[in-house]
Each structure stands twice: as structure tokens, then as C-alpha cells.
Structure 1
């Protein structure tokens, strides 16, 4: 068997056999197949795609390229939630408290932010003293004790994905839906869970810019989940505007806490209620979304969710009192108000530009080597559909130096579109698709 023949078969649109896929991926992992041949293969996949059977074999090889984590002694029903990324997406923080309230454990590998989207690891590192598990044994222990386990992505988990992704990044093949699906699902499947929820973001601030491409990605991931006999739900959600009002690491921790106190913004509250209700459906505790959402609201009102989040923060080395005293989190020195130049209604807020406004202030990083400033960010004062008067504040920039302040101001101004006609608020949840549930 030769690598060039496998590349040619995929280039010509043929369905590859298990033996061909295994030969090629094993050869690349063991450095018997060079980067230039893998690059050609990835480009062939980009144009010709992969069928359900190929994708399942491809993903299985990715999963088996490194360590897997199984949770021994965990009594909780385990659900892993994955988001494809967006601006203001602090969902994991809120779900840590909510899932634990229903005896649902969650254990996952999370990443740092790069570009205009934030990373879960960065958000939790806003909390002084907060430390993540350094090994799978520590991750399992954290999950057993608190119900929540979060660890930074490990080189030992799915190393083949890391190697292939680095090549995709420089060969213009990142946007291949089969390759995105296998990359996400291989990392999810390498860590055992009873169910998986995929929050697939759609819109200007997301990787999937339109509903059709988001549906394709969701279907590919559901197909993989079905092949592995996992319970999987894909929830397509709006990222045309930032999620909630807070952007920036400390800001987002605070907003997640406020949401668990019943004081969160409408769109973010709806998202966490929906995702938790879906988790309860996967577990079998409720029959439908409305029953699940009702239970979520009851748990928030009882104070149980915030208590579980405090327990998680304390176990990880942070001060649980920060849930009542936000001065314990890093706060920026200065604030700049962005005011509307006209009256009307907010027609849209371009999420990517809001993300970039925070990034240039230091809330995100353009390269992996840059250091995050956890205290800076953006607070929105208006959302799509809101009325606005001339001179009214649209948003606040929180910053520590003026180095990129003008650039940030321009991003905010460009992000907002004010219309003379009344506009409707954005829909949060588009569609929900499931397999094996």
C-alpha cells in the first residue's frame, strides 16, 4: 500500500477503506508519511469530503492515537458540553454550578483563547489561586469530589489531532467540515461521558457563519456520536451578537455568577437553561425542554447552583467569597463610555468586532505567546432590538492603558448598527438535533 495511491483515491472522490485510512494515519503519526503528503491528503478531503463510514474510522484512529480517560468511582451521570466558540461565551462557568445541582458530573478538556474568542481556561484563571488538574488522575479526583472536572488540553490526549491541526492551520484546510467534526469529536470521545452536548455557534462571531454550514457540522458530529453509540445533542445557537453583556475574562466570571443568582442577561439565561434542560433530557430526568427549564429555574432560585460553583472554586484553590465580593477579581483601572450618535433601535451588534475590541485591550491574544490581562474587557449596555437615544451609552470599555484604546473604540462604533425602524431582538436557540436520546 502506498500513500500516493490513497491521496489519489481521495482526490478522485473514492471512498477509502478502513485499511487505507489506518495505513495513512498510522504512517503520519509514526513519521513514515511526510507533511507534504498529509497536506495533499487534507486538501483532497477539503474538496471531496468524507462519508459517514470514513469519518467514523478516521475519528476512531484519532481517539486511539493517545490516552483515554475513564472515570472510576464517579456516581454522577457524566455529560460533556462543548462549544464551537464565540464572544462572551461563559457558559461552562454557569453550567458547572447547574449540572452539579442535578447530580450531573461534567469533565472536559478546555483551551485558552486565541483571537477574538475567549477561552474557558483564561476565564477561570481570572480567579486568584485557581489551579487546574495536571494529570488525568487529578482530573478524575476533582470530578469525583466537586462534580466538575476541567483540565487544559493535554498532549497525551489525541496527539494525532494536534499534529494534523498544526498542518491544517498552514494549508488552508481548517474550514473542512469533516476535519472540524473529527477534531472536536475525537477529543470528546477520548474522555468518557454518558452524554455529550454540542453548542454549535452560528453567526458573525462564530466559525460557522450561516445556518447551513452549522447544520452540516452538527450532522457530521452527530453521525460520529451515533457510530460510537453515544448520546449526543447538537444545539445550534446565535452568535451574530455577543452572548450576554459581558466580554473579557473577569467580566464573564461575574456575569456567570450573576446568572446563577437569577440576575443574568436574558439571552445568556435562556442558553444555560436550555443546555441544562437538554442535559436533564439526556439523563432521563425530564420528558421535554419546558419541564427541564422549570427545574433549572427552581434550582437557581434555591441558591443551590451558586453553592456548587463556590465549592468548585474553593476546591481549585480560589476564594469562594468572590461570588459575593467581586473586588476579589481583577478589575481594570479606567472606563471609557461609547455613546450613540443617533436615536433609533439597535439593529445589530457584530460579535467579532466586539471581541476584537476586547482583544486589543488585552482581554485576548493574537499569538499564543501573548499574556492575557484578566481585568479588561467590554460591557454592553444595549442589545439588538433595544431602543436608544442620541448620547445614550451603548457600551463601556474597561482598560488599564491607552495603548490600543482608539482602536478598541473604533471597533465598538463599527460593531453597532442603529436603525430608524424598530427591530426585533435576536433569537438565541435556532435548532436542537439529537441521536441515541
Structure 2
């Protein structure tokens, strides 16, 4: 799945190319609406395959269904005794964007005010571009890492990955042969607290439970007394879920993160009430706060078709997230809150993951970051959402979130994810290229 790339005398600066690639990928609309109605990832996958083939790789494209394409390629290591491959993976799809809400066309990839703007700028065509720019530069120059590297650009992450990462893991696991560790999105970015810059590497993420609720009742005329109303039953259950105060649960990863912030800021860490420490984190407090407990957020309601007809059924959807180690508690509580007259089924369900910080790869990621920013501190953290890491964990692949970006303190980085006016600083992309290159040198 790879061919030998000969060193090229033509020098292409990856710090320049990463900006061009990020803009180009953003201009390819890969909006994922979650219902199969979007354009798919095929056009972007073809372009990525072309960019990889240009530097001597032999990319493999797989489709879970027409248009839902993922690309995988392998780079053999320079040390033939190393068989433990590293998986670098990113997703090609993005959430939708409405142009009228944005300052710029969300699919323009425009560069202005020192940033690349557009849907996917941080989630996650920035990391796709960094991987491509670094690998293309290294292969042009004949610089292979010591251990094998498998690179994957995947479909459908924004709709739980069943047509992308899960499909590759379930049906094309041979493409990932030898992979023992992986790095991907939503980690390695900078966080400012108490005048100190931290880099948060994701070592844990919450599990996923998108649930469809159903209540049944007696259909009838809207003018009659109705004691068996499906809408009433459903709304009561949805209210109980949405207003439930989930208890604080301190996982190992979150504790390590908050202890580090406490040490650097001097703000006391109270495990029973870390709210004072969260205020030091600015906008990132939204993510960290959501990793202190399980969550259930109602998102969709559906019932009826006419004002004077009592419907026989009512439906809702709820976005549930559970912490590593607390899945059983989560579902037991959900079922108690729903009561006996409301049923649930999964729209999507996936595991929570947590790995210990430390070990050789962690140390190399930390060293690569600190080489570019010596005064910073590297800490583990838990992601409140989920990534394609979940798809590869059952294959025995240890995954980390490591898409390195040095961000200005006044940029609401967490608000960029799925937000309006999503953008990534050019110098942040260039920082990421340097860090990833250092990491690959150290493997």
C-alpha cells in the first residue's frame, strides 16, 4: 500500500502548503446532514488520494456506499525491525453551515485577519491539511519515520462514523495492520489559565447515546378530555431528563487536568466543587465542565399533524453522553427518569474511552510541543464529545487527541467547533506543522 518516494530537489515549504491545503479542503463542500442528503466525501477523498499519490504513496479508497469515501495509505518505516505502526487519522466531513449567518462564505477557505476561515477550519480540515503538508514534505525529502505510519482520511465522523471509521475498522481492518497507537483531532491545542499556557492532549472522551424516545397514547378529538395523551407523557419524560441534575463524577483524566491547572494558577482544587477552578479556563470551561458529569440534552420533538387531533404517538430525540466507567449508571438513571410509558432506542451508541497519560508516545508528543513552546505545560484532558478514536479502540489501538495548535488567548477555540465564523490562525497551522514534523522525527 505504499511505494518508495524519491527525494525531490524542489523545496515546498510545508508551512506555506498547509495554508493552501486547508483552504482547498474547505472549498470542497463535504457537509454531513446525518440523513444521507449531503454531497458526501468522494470529491475530497479523490483530491486527498491525488495529493498522496503525488509523493509516491499508493492510497486505497473505500466506500461504505456511493459517495461516502475514505482514503487509507501506508508509509513503511525506515527501521525494518519496527512493525508497530502509528495511525494518523482525520475526517473529511463537516457539519452544515448557513452562509447568511457568516461574515464570509463558509466554503470559501478565505484567508483574512491572519486566519483561514470556513466550515471545517478547526473541525477538522486543519489537521487533515497538517498531516498532508508534513507527509508530503517528508516524502519529497526522503525522510521516513522509523516506525510505519498509516494515514486515514475518513467519512461520516459528524454522524457517528458508521459510514467512515467504523466501516474501515469493521470491513477493512487489514488496511490498519500493525497499528498499535493513533493520533487525531481535538487535542494538543493551547489553553490559557492564570497567565500560563497549557497544551491539552486528549486521553479520554465521553461515550455517546443519541436516543429516540417514543410515547404511545389514545388518539382522539382535540376537544375531548384526554387522560392518555402521548404528547403529555413524552413531554413530562423529556422534562425530567433535561432538568435532571447529574451528580459530579471525577474521572482520573479530569482530576489530573484540574490538579495541573490548580498548581499553575494557585486556585485551590476542591474535588467536590471545582467551579472556582473552572472560571480560570475561560471558554474552555464549557468543555471541561461537561466532563464532570453525564449529560442528557433533549434536541428534537415530533408529534401530531393537526391542531384538533390528539396523536397516537409522540417522539423525541435526546443527546446523551456518559463518562468513562459510568455507562451502566447512566442508562439505569435514564430508564428511571423515562418511566414505564416511554421507550427508547438508539439513533447512535458508542463507547467511552480513557487511557493513561505517559508512555513513549505521550513523552514524544509532549517533547514536540515543548520544543516549540518551552514555557508551556502539557496536560491530559477529557473531551465532552466524541471522535473516530472510538472506532479503532476495539482493534486494540490506543488513541490520543493530538492536533497541535497554538491559539491566541482571546480566541474562543471551543466555540469554533460547529460554530459560526469558524476559523483557524495561520500561525497556529504552521505551529502544528512544526510539531507534527518533530513528532515523526522522534518515532
TM-score by length of 1: 0.28
> Which structure: larger Rg?
2
